[in-house]
Amino acid sequence: MILPAVLLGLAALPSPQARPVPLDSTWELSGEGTRIEPYRRVRALRVRTGAAVRRDVSFVDGTIEFDMEVTRNRSFVYLWFRMQDVGEHEEIYFRPHKSSLPDAIQYTPVWRGDSNWQLYHGKGATAAVPLVAGEWMHVRLVVSGRRAALFLDDQKSPSLVMALSREPRPGHIGLRAFTPEGGAPAGQTVAAFANVVLRPGVVPYDFGPEPAPRAPEPGLITRWQVSPPFVPPAGPVTRLPDSLLAAKASWPSFPVEPNGVLVIGRHLARPAARSAAIARLMLRSDAERSQRLYLGYSDQVTVYLNGRPLFGGDARYSFDEPRQEGLIGRSQATIWLPLEQGDNEVLLAVADGFGGWGLIGLLDPLDGAQLVPPSP
């Protein structure tokens, strides 16, 4: 059995930079089964579905350490850091039921309450690690500017190195767990946390030099015009609101993230749990031609060209019937746009209810057509 660091003596002689964060009444607790109590010979935070936030902590760079115990039940166990609010922070979480699978751990930025896990996956966002149930694991996160590295137990090399998407700003820390329907039996906690320690400014990992910004891949759509949000009817969007289309020329444009994804929820507040917006592109062609568009979307999209619908897709997360992950990727759809000579308008109605609201597009080849930048 692995004992928590506090019992092994690792916290008995803290370094001058170490700042233990006691598990006491200064944590703001919420949710079902969230409590601080003696547990397995230490004082621990225990959670089923809920969170604990330490608002008097201001952390930006350095090291966060804690001990964590999980179960094998389907559950999600979180670390929040650089929190500006409950809906504005960086997030790392563990999927104990997916131990050693490619998405056992996950990084995602959170904007406006959206955890954008469907938009961040693969290298730098997810990783396969073993998560042992019923034993203490030591978690260490090293943060420096726009980069972070996650270590488990006594690892010398990190399990996951992340390029953080949010601006580096001091913020709170939080610990959370979520038990979905069909997870742990009623009343059973799914996570325990102990021995929380901060080391502000201590970065014991060499990230190497800051990577130079990479030029966007040829054909990648790097800015999208986007309408104000609206509440769509159930199912695919089959009619675009006239009130929004009347002002389409003046819709603001937003840049994509370094991974090429337009995170719509970063820029627009949802008016409802399931919301929609219209993304707009103008393509100028020197002749009639078919232009190939590789498209990724979350969750649902309807594509219009010059006022006519061309394509509809539904990539919502579904646990079963059918099973689909809902992860964005530009291989989700390949669309041949029948362009006319001159200017062509592409409108994409994107609806989302969960896991990240976004688009990614690549035009290939762009040998006779060009993107028309939106008016300033």
> Residue 360 sits in which domain range?
223-371
Query: Is residue 136 classed exposed, middle or buried when 0-12, 13-18 and 19+ CB atoms within 10 A define those classes?
Result: buried
- pLDDT for 142: 98
Show the low-confidence residues of the chain (pLDDT under 50). Answer: 1-14
- pLDDT for 15: 55
**Can you state the percent helix, strand and coil of the chain, rounding each to 5?**
5, 45, 50
Whether 50 and 157 map to the same domain: the answer is: yes
- pLDDT for 376: 59
Whether 189 and 53 map to the same domain: the answer is: yes
56 located within any domain: yes
214 located within any domain: no
Whether 139 and 196 map to the same domain: the answer is: yes
210 located within any domain: no
Whether 259 and 339 map to the same domain: the answer is: yes
How many domains does the chain contain in total? 2
212 located within any domain: no
Whether 46 and 98 map to the same domain: the answer is: yes
- Per-residue pLDDT reduced to its tens digit, 241-277: 999 999 999 999 999 999 999 999 999 999 999 999 9
- pLDDT for 2: 44
Whether 59 and 152 map to the same domain: the answer is: yes
Q: How far is CA 200 from CA 67, 145, 306, in A?
A: 18, 13, 54
Give the global pTM.
0.91
Whether 257 and 304 map to the same domain: the answer is: yes
CATH (domain of 241): 2.60.120
Q: Report the alpha-carbon distance of residue 130 to residue 133 in Å, rounded.
A: 10
Query: Is residue 63 classed exposed, middle or buried when 0-12, 13-18 and 19+ CB atoms within 10 A define those classes?
Result: buried
Whether 130 and 241 map to the same domain: the answer is: no
Whether 154 and 267 map to the same domain: the answer is: no
Whether 125 and 58 map to the same domain: the answer is: yes
H-only helix segments in the chain? 5-8, 242-245, 264-267
207 located within any domain: no
Contact 297, 237 (CB under 8 A): no
205 located within any domain: no
Last residue of a domain, one of 200, 232, 252: 200
206 located within any domain: no
CATH (domain of 60): 2.60.120.560
- pLDDT for 373: 86
Whether 259 and 120 map to the same domain: the answer is: no
Whether 288 and 157 map to the same domain: the answer is: no
Residue 209 tokens, joined:
């030099």
- Per-residue pLDDT reduced to its tens digit, 82-112: 999 999 999 999 999 999 999 999 999 999 9
